[in-house]
Amino acid sequence: MNAVSPTSTAAEGLAGWIAPGRTAVVVIDMQVDFASPSGVLGAFIDMSVVEPALAAAEKLVAEARAAGVPVVFVGLSTTAETDSPAWNERMRRRGGDPDVDAALCRAGEVGSEFYGPKPLPGELVVLKTRYSGFVGTDLDMQLTKLGVDTLVVAGLTTECCVGGTVQDAFHLDYHVFVAADACAAYEADIHEASLKVMELNSAILTDTAAIADAWKGAA
């Protein structure tokens, strides 16, 4: 499969591919525990690494709203009951303590709140318990109700929940575009490698500026 670069997706054609009326923006796991210095991971990860992606995602969401493109927020929301035996055993085999290390984005706690771009009243919010936004949720049904066949994806982290959701979206026959500058991993090489994998297999890479220009051109 021929890869498409962010530069080439900004060329003629993008406006039709991500036109309002067929497209939704999906923001994945931009939450306190994953993005804020005060979140669980902020205790041992320098969260400045994700700040550019948060800013780009805020711009992407603003541009989507201005263009009449629906924005969907997907977030992790866990409980002790949703931490399955397989989930916990993997943690143990890696030397962790499931009672401590698995407690990310607990339902009803500050860590699960959205951070950076936030949903407005009436916007769709889908809560999940696994990496992919499509596993154990009604995301596919809700997108079908919106009448979209194309997704522009942003979020955290590139190699994990973004990658898992993008792959499942492609398997469900959505046309998938990834706003590369509005995604981040905690290590630059992992981010770049994950983008390359998505580009090769399941998505077209673009960036926030190209998307904004396409929507303005379609207005």
- Give tens-digit pLDDT for 98-142: 666 668 999 999 999 999 999 999 999 999 999 999 999 999 999
- The backbone torsions φ and ψ at residue 171, rounded to the nearest 5 degrees and listed phi first, read -65, -25
Longest dimension (CA), the chain: 53
pTM of the shown model: 0.91
Domain span holding position 175: 6-218
Distance of CA 41 to the CA centre of its chain: 18
Q: Give the angle subtended at the CA of 48 by the CAs of 42 and 52, to the nearest 5°.
A: 130
Q: How far apart are CA 70 and CA 91, in angstroms?
A: 36
- In-domain check, residue 1: no
- Give tens-digit pLDDT for 13-41: 899 999 999 999 999 999 999 999 999 99
Q: Give the angle subtended at the CA of 154 by the CAs of 216 and 201, to the nearest 5°.
A: 105
Q: For residue 175, what pLDDT is reported?
A: 98
Q: How far apart are CA 109 and CA 81, in angstroms?
A: 16
Rg of the chain over Cα atoms, rounded to whole angstroms, equals 17
Q: Does the active-site annotation cover 29?
A: yes
Catalytic residue among 161, 181, 183, 207: 161
List all residues 6 or more positions away from 19 whose beta carbon is below 8 Å from its beta carbon.
218
Residue whose tokens read 């039709």: 16
What CATH number is given to the structural domain containing 36? 3.40.50.850
- Give tens-digit pLDDT for 172-182: 999 999 999 99
- In-domain check, residue 29: yes
Q: How far apart are CA 73 and CA 61, in angstroms?
A: 10
Catalytic residue among 29, 33, 168, 181: 29
Q: For residue 94, what pLDDT is reported?
A: 79
- Give tens-digit pLDDT for 144-159: 999 999 999 999 999 9
Catalytic residue among 128, 160, 168, 207: 128
Cβ 26 vs Cβ 155: under 8 Å: yes
pLDDT band at 59 (very low <50, low <70, confident <90, very high): very high
Q: Does the active-site annotation cover 183?
A: no
Q: How far apart are CA 147 and CA 74, in angstroms?
A: 18
Count structural domains, the chain.
1
List all residues 6 or more positions away from 181 whose beta carbon is below 8 Å from its beta carbon.
52, 53, 56, 207, 208
- In-domain check, residue 91: yes
